[in-house]
Amino acid sequence: MLAQLQRIGKALMLPIAILPVAGLLLRLGQPDTLNIPFMASVGNAVFSNLPILFAIGIAVGFAKNNHGLAGLAGFLSYTILSSGADAINSSINLGYLGAIVGGLLTGWLFNVFSKKDSKYLSYVGGSRGLAVILIMIVSFFLSLLFGAIWPSVQNAFNTLGQWLTETGAYGAGIYGLVNRLLIPFGLHHVINTYIWFVYGNFHGVTGDLNRFFAGDPTAGGYMAGMFPIFMFGLPGAALAMILAARKENRKVVAGVLGSAAFTSFFTGITEPIEFSFMFIAPFLYIIHAVLTALSMFICFALGIKDGFTFSAGFLDYVLNRNYATHGYWLIPIGIVFGLLYFVIFYFSIKFFDLKTPGRELITAGNIGNSFILDEYQVTGGKEAPKVEANAVNQANTSADDRGYAYLQALGGKDNIKLIEACMTRLRLELQDVDRIDEARLSQLGASGCIKLNKTSAQVIVGTVADLLTDEIKQYL
């Protein structure tokens, strides 16, 4: 089930990934910024059609090999579901939940039926044509079912939203804690989707993110608390790890973590810092999750409201300042959290002798956002013998061929059943995860390897994930 939830999380990233550009256009086109109505209309066109984009994006993301025809089927499924249910009960609004259901249904049916082989399938456009037809038929019957049961589903989610409203700051804190703890498993997008796009209602607009930009004065409480952590907290943690590194390694570590800290502050992209200590020092990551929860609790309790379309970085903070409520408090709160992160991380690393970057590994380079750490340590002031990299030997393949080297480290061609990219990770379905050579992956630049069970794994490689997946697939 965890493996399937990961596929859902990866699929949800496709529609979410388009929000930054749309949000930028929408915000810059407003009268209080550049005052360009055309630009605002273009951005609003994306937000107005987000449920359709979710249905298409999720269907493509969930279908194996991101097949484009699944996108068309996802659009048809959502349209049939929403139109059919509305005809039965006009009070029904499937919205994002209907889009997610339609997208996942499409992706699953497409994967099952698009590879069927029969001479009779030529009459319906082949196996993929059959898949699209079956998706439409199933969506038709599901629309009948939704027409009957969806009011109860809506009431259940309204009850959940009411509970979150009543819990107030505690609910925001719980969300912040769960959000960070789910990141190692790649499942944070699942909970984010509900909070950002479903939770609450303001004149027909749902979700904390959407309602915030629609002018809902009660929205933004579930996003504001991220700004102090992303802009100040994690950069403070990066500074602590730099100063805690060995003197001979500090310059190299500062180059890598310094750029990661600036990225977190300016854009709100936090994974380069988080993955630098997530696996090496899980204790610190738990502290990070708790501090995130504390920030969310404090900001909500103080009535601070702010939002983002990309992430809680300085860029979104500046662009959305006029929409925020008490947004100026985020800066002093952030400075306090920055100091808190620095002190806790620095003294924890020193006291517990945590092996954060630069404390035991001699050299570090950079591929995308991930570290390359050569496997030799300092012993009595001398270097232990360096572990030789596994030789890459194949006809017409050079030793520095990254795709082939990763393929071998993952256990070879016959070990890989499915490989997909998701932002900074390779998501893998394998014959046996024990065949993964983690030491070799580390030499190649991977920041970590998550083994979910005997057949499912993730490898953290940084922003080269998409390119690397294509390179590996050339050998599959």
For 73-95, what is each residue's pLDDT tens digit?
899 999 999 999 999 988 888 88
- What integer best gives the mean pLDDT of the chain? 83
| Same domain for 160 and 36 | yes
> Best-predicted range by mean pLDDT among 106-110, 318-322, 406-410, 446-450?
406-410
Answer whether residue 374 is part of any domain.
no
Answer whether residue 123 is part of any domain.
yes
Answer whether residue 395 is part of any domain.
no
Q: What pLDDT score does 192 carry? A: 87
Q: Mean pLDDT over residues 264-275, rounded?
A: 86
Q: What pLDDT score does 464 carry? A: 84
Task: With cut-offs at 50, 70 and 90, classify the pLDDT of residue 66.
Answer: low
User: Residue 418 is part of a domain; what is its CATH number?
Assistant: 3.30.1360.60
| Same domain for 257 and 161 | no
| Full-model pTM | 0.71
> What is the SS3 string spanning the chain?
CHHHHHHHHHHHHHHHCCHHHHHHHHHHCCCCCCCCHHHHHHHHHHHHCHHHHHHHHHHHHHCHHHCCHHHHHHHHHHHHHHHHHHHHCCCCCCHHHHHHHHHHHHHHHHHHHCCCCCHHHHHHCHHHHHHHHHHHHHHHHHHHHHHHHHHHHHHHHHHHHHHHHHHCHHHHHHHHHHHHHHHHHCCHHHHHHHHHHCCCEECCEECHHHHHHCCCCCCCCCCCCHHHHHHHHHHHHHHHHHHHCCHHHHHHHHHHHHHHHHHHHHHCCCHHHHHHHCCCCHHHHHHHHHHHHHHHHHHHHCCCECCCCCCCCHHHHHHCCCCCECHHHHHHHHHHHHHHHHHHHHHHHHHHCCCCCCCCCCCEEEECCEEEECCCCEECCEECCCCCCCCCCECCECCCCHHHHHHHHCCCHHHEEEEEEECCEEEEEECCHHHCCHHHHHHHCCCEEEECCCCEEEEECCCCHHHHHHHHHCCC
Does pLDDT of 57 surpass 90?
no
| Same domain for 191 and 117 | yes
The per-residue b/e assignment along 182-193, b for 16 or more CB within 10 angstroms, e otherwise, is bbbebbbbbebb
Answer whether residue 391 is part of any domain.
no
Does pLDDT of 371 surpass 50?
no
Total residue length of the chain: 476
| Same domain for 136 and 271 | no
Task: With cut-offs at 50, 70 and 90, classify the pLDDT of residue 294.
Answer: very high
Query: How many structural domains does the chain have?
Result: 3
Q: Among residues 312, 345, 364, which one ends one of the domains?
A: 364
422 noted as active-site residue: yes
| Same domain for 136 and 65 | yes
| Same domain for 194 and 54 | yes
CA-to-CA distance for 233 and 335, rounded, in angstroms?
Answer: 8
Q: 447 is in which domain, residue-wise?
A: 402-473
Task: With cut-offs at 50, 70 and 90, classify the pLDDT of residue 118.
Answer: low
| Same domain for 162 and 26 | yes
Write down the catalytic residue from 291, 299, 373, 422: 422
Answer whether residue 381 is part of any domain.
no
Task: With cut-offs at 50, 70 and 90, classify the pLDDT of residue 30.
Answer: confident
| Same domain for 428 and 347 | no
Does pLDDT of 392 surpass 60?
no
| Same domain for 317 and 258 | yes
Answer whether residue 385 is part of any domain.
no
CA-to-CA distance for 82 and 397, rounded, in angstroms?
Answer: 52
| Same domain for 241 and 164 | no
Answer whether residue 102 is part of any domain.
yes
Q: What pLDDT score does 92 carry? A: 84
| Same domain for 235 and 150 | no
Q: Mean pLDDT over residues 237-251, rounded?
A: 92
Does pLDDT of 150 surpass 90?
no
Answer whether residue 190 is part of any domain.
yes
| Same domain for 298 and 193 | no
